Structure 1
Amino acid sequence: MALLPGEGEEPEMSMMVNEKEVLRRTGKEVIHDFLSSKTLYDMMRQSGKLVFFDTNIPIQLAFYALLEHDMPAAPLWDSVSRRFVGLLSVTDFIDILRHYHRRGIPMDELSARNIGEVISDVDGRRMQHSDFLGTDVSTSIHQACTVLRARHHRFLPVIPPDGTRVLAIASYYEVLRYLVDNFREQRRLFEDSIADLGIGTFGEEVLTVRKTAVLSDVLDAMEARDVSAVPVVDESDRVVGLYSRSDITFLATATDADSVLSNLRVTLQQILEQKPTEDVPRDRLETCSVHASLQSIFERFAEVGFHRLVCVDDERRCLGIVSARDLILYFCGQ
């Protein structure tokens, strides 16, 4: 409610505050309505590829197939029950490898096991998508994002009405890509800063790691906090890099099973010093100010296609982190 003159606030200031709040609410509503009016079918790329794995194939072979085809995840098909039973991601393989190592199981033994044996192991590492959550292609994008959030999933298989196959894999990144590419709005509705809008994670909630930290310790911390990437800082707390939980540098540079384990003992600085290649990509470090407007964040995504932005101050010290998930769920009313 606006304050009346004499109650401590000038009428002009009150009107400005109210107008700003109206613009903020309107901006959120128009994106909400856009996501509710579009379906997963609308969001599907005109051309693309999808990889499927039978649960009878060796899990190590599946991992390298994901890398070869540059796929973050793939549906798993059980030929006995003739149904999809889950998704396998690059992060899953890394977590499974570490879990078996902690149990004292040799890496050679893991590489010989097929996917079905690994996912049915009662003492094994539960995958992030251990159930197959097929979502009809006619589902609205907004509803799909609601499902992703409720189930704490990063990927969502898109299926036709008969459920016989998978058409695509939806993710927050794909939703943001579709939104930036297709949403058109003439009004300037997104000039508030991401900090003012409460988009992202800030302060003590942000997990950062020293560049001298050992990889195995970093992966343990990321798994415990359920984060997919962490800013890497130097001795002065300045951000010098970004490490993703799906980074496969330590695997790609291994020559055998023993060197995989020894590579888990390298520091993040050693990993960051290795230049990414086409075969071994790495999330680029992209930064922004906490005062950056939401409009500028959209424009930045259109330019570089980030998965996350690290918010830094003038000294490049980490203040927060904003992901594609944060941006989309803000508009989904969560």
Structure 2
Amino acid sequence: MVLCSWFQVKKAFFALVANGVRAAPLWESKKQSFVGMLTITDFINILTRYYKSPMVQIYELEEHKIETWRELYLQETFKPLVHISPDASIFDAVYSLIKNKIHRLPVIDPVSGNALYILTHKRILKFLVDNELWPTQTEELGVGTYNNIAYIHPDTPLITALSVFTHRRVSALPVVDHHGKVVDIYSKFDVINLAAEKTYNNLDVTVTQALRHRSQYFEGVMKCNRLETLETIVDRIVKAEVHRLVVVDEESRIIGIVSLSDILQALVLTPKNN
């Protein structure tokens, strides 16, 4: 799916929901080229930037075109479209994803300029596992984030959670009770439900209330412990089709997070002698 930059922002996000995708390339007819990606992160940025109260409509989301939002947003930070050619290696793709801290990498034909497909961390990891292009020996897990972990509580206001996404640049937030135990997880993908149900005008609700509107069946938080091997971790992520595991202790208290980015960096980018 490709979106034109003159689409209304609201309709563009509805299109993402209707097609069951998390992002789409942006085409600008004036330049006759792809100029960026529209993602759930953009939706979160709009909400956190313009939300005032449940009584005030978010005009910028209702009326702005994508190109208007991009002009306002890019005044603060210009980020050209990061893409790759179909002839590039898996190493190049992983390096580009991690270096640029992005989750989707458009593959664009250099001759025609057409967007062929979009590479993600999950697709690359599944390819590596299916083709056994990763270390077959087991090894103790040495990747992940274990300090200054971003998390929220069940009673955290939704607008606060969205702000954490923006400032910490994370794709999911473990929901931790006041005893430190992991009870749920709120991801960027869950935010798109606000567009699907048109409930984005009230962001003062708690995270627990927002999670009641999940559009898909939720099996629970996928967890692991620090003693499990990298092979076990990868197998669990691939089978569960999730983007991260929450590392917990014996009492389900949060210790850290292991993400697809962490694993790909360990498997592909980290030198073997390290």
- Aligned residue in 1 for 2:204: 265
Q: Match for 2:204: what amino acid?
A: R
Query: Which of 242, 259, 267 does residue 185 from structure 2 map onto?
Result: 242
Between Structure 1 and Structure 2, whose CA radius of gyration is higher? 1
- Aligned residue in 2 for 1:193: 140
Answer whether contact 1:118 1:124 (CA < 8 A) is retained: no
Cα distance in 2 for residues equivalent to 1:169 and 1:192 = 31
- Count of residue pairs the alignment pairs up: 268
- In the TM superposition, 1:14-163 aligns within 5 A as 51-101=1-51, 106-121=57-72, 130-163=79-112
- Aligned residue in 2 for 1:219: 162
Cα distance in 1 for residues equivalent to 2:250 and 2:89 = 41
Answer whether contact 2:107 2:118 (CA < 8 A) is retained: yes
Query: In proportion to residue count, which structure has more helix?
Result: 1
The higher relative CO (CA closer than 8 Å, separation ≥ 6) is in: 2
Deviations 1:107-151 (A, max 9, x none): 234322211111112687759xx4222211010011111112222
- Aligned residue in 1 for 2:264: 328
Q: Match for 2:215: what amino acid?
A: T
Q: Match for 1:309: what amino acid?
A: L
Cα distance in 1 for residues equivalent to 2:219 and 2:100 = 25
Q: Percent identity?
A: 30
- Aligned residue in 1 for 2:229: 293
SS in structure 2 opposite 1:315?
coil
Query: Which of 270, 276, 287 does residue 214 from structure 2 map onto?
Result: 276
Shift, 1:247, TM fit: 1.7
Mind listing any 5+ residue stretches in structure 1 that lack a counterpart? 1-50
- Aligned residue in 2 for 1:11: none
SS in structure 2 opposite 1:210?
coil
Deviations 1:204-260 (A, max 9, x none): 321121111111112212211111111101121110001113322344343xxxx52
SS in structure 2 opposite 1:220?
helix
Answer whether contact 2:50 2:60 (CA < 8 A) is retained: no
Answer whether contact 2:245 2:259 (CA < 8 A) is retained: yes
- Aligned residue in 2 for 1:171: 120
Shift, 1:332, TM fit: 2.7
Shift, 1:69, TM fit: 0.9
- Aligned residue in 2 for 1:306: 242
Mind listing any 5+ residue stretches in structure 2 that lack a counterpart? none
Shift, 1:284, TM fit: 5.1
Cα distance in 2 for residues equivalent to 1:77 and 1:302 = 32
Shift, 1:298, TM fit: 2.3
Answer whether contact 1:66 1:74 (CA < 8 A) is retained: yes
Going from structure 1 to structure 2, the CA distance change for 1:228 and 1:126 (only over 3 Å counts) comes to: farther
Q: Match for 1:241: what amino acid?
A: D
Query: Which of 252, 256, 260 does residue 196 from structure 2 map onto?
Result: 252
Q: Match for 2:170: what amino acid?
A: V
Answer whether contact 1:215 1:267 (CA < 8 A) is retained: yes
SS in structure 1 opposite 2:51?
helix
Query: Structure 1-normalised TM-score?
Result: 0.73
